[in-house]
Chain A
C-alpha cells in the first residue's frame, strides 16, 4: 500500500466518521453542501480543465433539479427513475449545444458565450413554464415524509441530515472517481492535444468533435445529477438557485479558485466559496444584497491573474518546487488553456 492510498483511506474514514462526532445540524448542512457543490464543481472541471470553459453549467443543474421534480410532482415517477431521465436529457442538451460548437470550431471565449446563453435559456424556460414549474417562485417536490414517517426511499426524501450526508459522500466519491477515470484515460491525452493544437490533433487521428462531445456529455450528466440531489436535499428549487448566470458563474469561480487541474481542487473550491458565503451571511447578513456575488467576481479576476491553477494547484507547485533538486528541469504541469 502506498502512502497515497493510506492517506486516501484515512481521509475517507475521517469523512465517514464525521456525523458520529455529534455536530449540530448546521455543521452537517455545511458539510453536505461542501461535498455536494464539490461534486458539481468536479463535474464542471472534467471539461473545464481542457479549456472547454462552460459558463452554462447552471443549465445542466437546472435540468437535473427540474426534470426530477416535475416527473415526481406531475407523474409520480420516483427520482430513482427521474435521475437517469435527467441525465439523458442533460446529455442530449449537451450534445445539441456541443455538436454545432465543436463541428464549427467555436472555441475559447465564443464557446463560453454560447454556453452562457444556454444557462439563461434554461432559466427563462423554467420561468416561462410556470404552470408546471411554479415559475420564479420555485417549486417543492411533493412531500411524502412527516414526523411519523421521517424518510421515504422511493421518493428519495430523508428528513435527517445524516442520511443525506452519506448519500452525498457517495455521490462525491463517484464524482472523484469519474474525474480520475477521465484523467487516466486516453481521452485526457486527446483533449490535451485538442485544447492546444486542434488541427495537429486531428492530423494524428484524434476525433476532435467526438472527443469534445464525450467530455461535455460526461460533465453535463454529472452536473445534472448534482442538480437533482440538490433539489431532493433542499426539497425546494427555484430557477435562480439551480440555473441561470449566477449559479453558472459560481461553478466556474469555485472550480478555478480550488484548482481544476487537480482531483480535489474543485472540492477545495467548494470549501472556499461556502465559507465565504456563510461568513458574509453571518456578518453582513442580507443588508447588502449581492455582496457575495460581487466578491466572487473580484476574486475570480484575481485568481485568473495570480493563481490560474487554483489554491490546490498552487500548493502542489510550491511543494514540487521545494522538493526539486537545483538544476533539474521543472516538472511543469498543464497550464489552463487559452
Chain B
C-alpha cells in the first residue's frame, strides 16, 4: 500500500484560538479514513486545510510525496484532491450534467476535450446514480440528490484522494446507508483514497478502514473503528450515552488497546 497523504504537525490558529493543534497522520493508497469528532473539534478545519480552503499556521501536508501545504484550492484540485461541501453548493443555474462536466474539464485544468469532459461527467453521474441527461436541473434534487451531486462533481475531477465532508447530514437512515455504500463502492471501483469527515458516527464505522477522533483540535484516538469506539476517551467526549449503540454496531471490545496519539 503506497503512501497517499502525510500530515505532520498540522496547526491552525484563528487569532488566539487554536482550532487544530499538531495533528499528524498517514494515509495509505486506497484507504478510507474516518475523521470524526464532536462539533468544534477541528475536523472541518483539518479538512479545509488539506483542501487548501484554509492556510495552515504550521505543519505540512504531503500528497503522493509532493508538498501541497498552503496551495490554493484550485491547485490542490489539480494535484488530485477532490472535495465535497457539507452544505451542498451546486451551480444552480446549470444543469446537473453541466455542473459535473465543468468540474471534469477544469479539474483536468483544461487539458481534455469537451467531449472527454462530458464523458467523464456521465461516468461520474453513473457512479453516483444520478440521471445522465442534459435536461435535468439541480432544482429537482432533494437533500440526498444534492449530496450525490457534490460527490459526482468531485469525482469528475478524477481525484486520487477524495475529501467527503459530512456526507450524511440531513439524510434519513436509508439514505445514510446508501451514501456509505456508495463511498465504499467508489473506493472499490476506482481505488480512490477517501477521507470521510463525519459527525454521525454509526454508519461511518461500518465502512471506514481506520478512524481518527479529534477533540479540541487534537487527535485523542486513532485506530480501527472497533478499537476507537471502545476507547474510554472517545466514549467520554464524544459517544456519551450513544456509546453502547455504536459499540454494538461495530463490534469488538478492545477497550484500552487503542493506539493513542497526542493528548
Contact = CB atoms under 8 A, between A and B. Distances in A.
Interface stretch (A161-169, A194-202, A242-250, A271-279): A194-202
Contacts of B93: 192, 196, 332, 334-335
Given A205-B109, A332-B139, A192 B74 contact: no
B132 to A, nearest CB: 16
B91 interface: yes
A197 B103 contact: no
A206 to B, nearest CB: 5
A184 to B, nearest CB: 10
Interface string B81-120: 0110100011111100011011101111110001000000
Nearest to B77: A205
Interface of A is mostly: helix
A264 B105 CA distance: 29
B102 A204 contact: yes
A25 B71 CA distance: 61
A208 interface: yes
A205 B85 contact: no
Interface residues on A, range: 20 to 34
Contacts of A199: 53, 73, 85, 89
B157 interface: yes
A329 B140 contact: yes
A197 B89 contact: yes
B157 A205 contact: yes
Contacts of A189: 94, 98, 101-102, 105
B106 A205 contact: yes
A192 B78 contact: no
Nearest to A207: B74
Nearest to B117: A186
A103 B137 CA distance: 31
Contacts of B82: 203-204
Nearest to B153: A204
B106 A200 contact: no
B51 interface: yes
A203 B109 CA distance: 12
A167 B93 CA distance: 37
B91 A192 contact: yes
Given A203-B51, A329-B137, A334-B93, 16 more contacts: A186-B105, A186-B106, A189-B98, A192-B94, A193-B94, A196-B92, A199-B73, A200-B85, A203-B74, A203-B82, A204-B102, A204-B153, A206-B74, A206-B106, A208-B74, A332-B93
17 contacts: A186-B110, A192-B94, A193-B102, A196-B93, A197-B90, A199-B85, A199-B89, A200-B85, A200-B91, A203-B53, A204-B106, A205-B77, A205-B106, A208-B74, A329-B137, A332-B93, A335-B93
Interface of A: 186, 189-190, 192-193, 196-197, 199-208, 329, 331-332, 334-335
